[in-house]
Structure 1
Amino acid sequence: MKFDGIVAFLTTADAGSISAASRRLGLAKSVVSERLAELERSLGATLLQRSTRKLSLTSSGQTFLPRARRILREAEEAAAELAARSGRLSGPLRLSAPVGFGILHLGPALARFLGEYPDIEVSLELDDGFVDAASDGFDAVLRHGAVGDGRLIARRLAASRRLLVASPAYLEREGRPASLAELERHRGILYSNRSGDWRFATETGWSVIRPNAGLRVNNGLVMRDAAAAGLGIALLPSFFVHDAVRSGTLEEIDIGLQAEGAELFLAYPRDHGAAPKIRALAESLRRSFGDPPYWES
């Protein structure tokens, strides 16, 4: 059983087609097909059902898939552990991060990290949905908020306040709220992936309000732009709006109460062989973001 055949199988299963797998691997389609065929011959089983419309896993392929992932991960982790013992960090590092934060802040930070560790090969996927690092094949995931998963180790990267913001034009037209009751009567630009999102600390505990929804969306950049266009009030992390508030495109609204904040974490599965690389990444990201982070300046 050849290792490149296992890689070809996993990539094809994840990509959904041999053509897509060949693009991901940077190989000719015929090379990927031959590696798959050779793997099937060595196993004595058909792993993939090919048709003109789609490609699917056979029952043998479904049985082999989790074991193939484990084989590949074990090999990568063994190489990473040996490299770390020799004082050299190298090899692949697959990451997931939210779309908005990745676009705004991860580019320069990862450039610095790769400058410090040029032998590490980072693969970053941006996704605003829930990503399960323990089962989705990622070495680490960046989370904005509590991790709450006992299978993961979470390393704190930075803190972020959440600010109520609106455009000057909206506030001039609709008025500036000064209390929770007034805020609740305004149009809100709401994050659709989280219910009870507008939480404020009061003397008696947390108070949750639900303004009328002018827009619901699962992306912070779209929320920021909608607020700048005057569609309503948004409650957003400071790392989304610090530049807009500084330039005057958005104005911060003070109702005398602090909104629930959140922290940024880098989370990864326990007993992960790539832990030395992940720890190095966490330290590099902390240095890039600063303490307090630059978006809180």
Structure 2
Amino acid sequence: MDRLDDLRLFTLVAEGRSFTKAAEKLGLSKSAASRRIGELEARLGARLFNRTTRHISLTQVGEGFHARVSQALEALEEAERSVASQHAAPRGTLKLAAPVSFGVDHLSGAIADFMRLYPEVAVDMDLSDRFVDLVDEGYDLAVRIGRLRDSSLVARRLCPARAVICASPEYLARRGTPQEPADIQSHDCLIYTNVQNPEQWSFRAAPGAEETRGQRITGRLRANNGDALREAASQGQGLVLLPTFIVGDALASGRLVPVLDAWLPPPLAVHAVYPANRHLSPKVRAFVDFLAGRFGPVPYWDAALTVLKGG
């Protein structure tokens, strides 16, 4: 046995309070294990264990030594797992949480393509607009949109989440096109309720300004789902503020028309978040890399709008 094996033997004895059990795990005799610990103590010049005929316990020096040795061995094992995981094929079940609209419209197709690339991965996707606790509820990762709460989670930006205020051409012809934020006070607004302040939209203080301010809105239709509000807007029911990943197709087809673009704050972002484990599994690493490559800095729903504008 080398010195590293001696340290492993020491931790097994310390944690099991038994030379016999530690020796069995390493394929040694009890006498050989006891001798090796004695040699370790002699080399260190300190007694690590209190021994009686019935009990074994760590000395005060042994307790401090055990704490440091355990950390060192754990770091070594983690380093080995990290290298091995980079070459391991993704496999197993990936448990994922995502918002409903983004999940249906964009993640579903992405997951189908991902599973074709990695046939040993199964996906369990939970679509809900509620905030899930990844650790307590056992999720591998979640897709989240907007400002992230302070947490111990690791976050990787996947793409921008650009918002737009829009309405149908028929509505704008009937009610007029707002030219500045104050104009929306005379308009019917479709209110998305799954946010902290549903009756308020944020605007720049002036086009291009950093400062933002809130503008109160009113309307007869409230809903906690963006797809439902998009369809209502397409039917001429009012102005709606939604991300382009929900209204992109309607904007591209002309069913909806953007207004007040210059007054809107900078885009937020879509993130993949996952627990800050020291060891990231190959399935999570592969999926996050796949999503970042698929959506990218200019997601396809925005790229199509740029082409239509001639940008």
Instruction: Give TM-score, length-normalised by structure 2.
Output: 0.65
CA contact (8 A) 2:190 2:220 kept: yes
- CA shift digits 1:20-48 (9 cap, x unpaired): xxxxxxxxxxxxxxxxxxxxxxxxxxxxx
Given the superposition, is the C-alpha separation of residues 273 and 121 from structure 1 closer, same or farther in structure 2, using an over 3 Å criterion?
farther
The corresponding residue for 1:121 is 122
Q: Secondary structure at the match of 2:105?
A: helix
The corresponding residue for 1:200 is 203
1:295 aligns with 2:275: no
| 1:162-201 equivalent positions in 2, closer than 5 A | 162-196=163-197, 197-201=200-204
CA contact (8 A) 1:198 1:259 kept: no
Please tell me the residue identity of whatever aligns with 2:204. Answer: A
CA contact (8 A) 1:94 1:122 kept: yes
| 1:27-176 equivalent positions in 2, closer than 5 A | 84=85, 86-176=87-177
- CA shift digits 1:228-281 (9 cap, x unpaired): 111111011011111101111111113631245220001111116554322211
- Please list every run of at least 4 consecutive aligned residues from structure 1 whose deviation after the TM superposition is greater than 4 angstroms: 80-83
Taking only aligned residues, the RMSD between alpha carbons, in angstroms, comes to 2.1
Given the superposition, is the C-alpha separation of residues 133 and 149 from structure 1 closer, same or farther in structure 2, using an over 3 Å criterion?
farther
- CA shift digits 1:77-129 (9 cap, x unpaired): xxx98983652111111001111111111122112211222111111110011
Please tell me the residue identity of whatever aligns with 2:257. Answer: E
CA contact (8 A) 1:178 1:255 kept: no
Please tell me the residue identity of whatever aligns with 2:201. Answer: W
1:215 aligns with 2:221: yes
The corresponding residue for 2:235 is 229
Q: Secondary structure at the match of 1:195?
A: coil
Gaps of 5+ in 2: 1-80, 304-311
CA contact (8 A) 1:158 1:292 kept: yes
Instruction: Give TM-score, length-normalised by structure 1.
Output: 0.68
In structure 2, how many angstroms separate the alpha carbons of the residues matched to 1:187 and 1:272? 50
CA contact (8 A) 2:158 2:297 kept: no
Please tell me the residue identity of whatever aligns with 1:115. Answer: R
Gaps of 5+ in 1: 1-79
The structure 1 residue matched to 2:259, chosen from 253, 257, 264, is 253
Please tell me the residue identity of whatever aligns with 2:124. Answer: S
Q: 1:219: Cα distance to partner?
A: 0.9
1:286 aligns with 2:286: no
1:267 aligns with 2:273: yes
Please tell me the residue identity of whatever aligns with 2:117. Answer: E
Q: 1:143: Cα distance to partner?
A: 0.4
Moved more, 120-129 or 188-197: 188-197
Q: Secondary structure at the match of 1:256?
A: helix
Q: Secondary structure at the match of 1:129?
A: coil
Given the superposition, is the C-alpha separation of residues 275 and 153 from structure 1 closer, same or farther in structure 2, using an over 3 Å criterion?
farther
Please tell me the residue identity of whatever aligns with 2:119. Answer: P
Given the superposition, is the C-alpha separation of residues 105 and 263 from structure 1 closer, same or farther in structure 2, using an over 3 Å criterion?
same
Work out which of the two has the higher radius of gyration on C-alpha atoms and give 1 or 2. 2
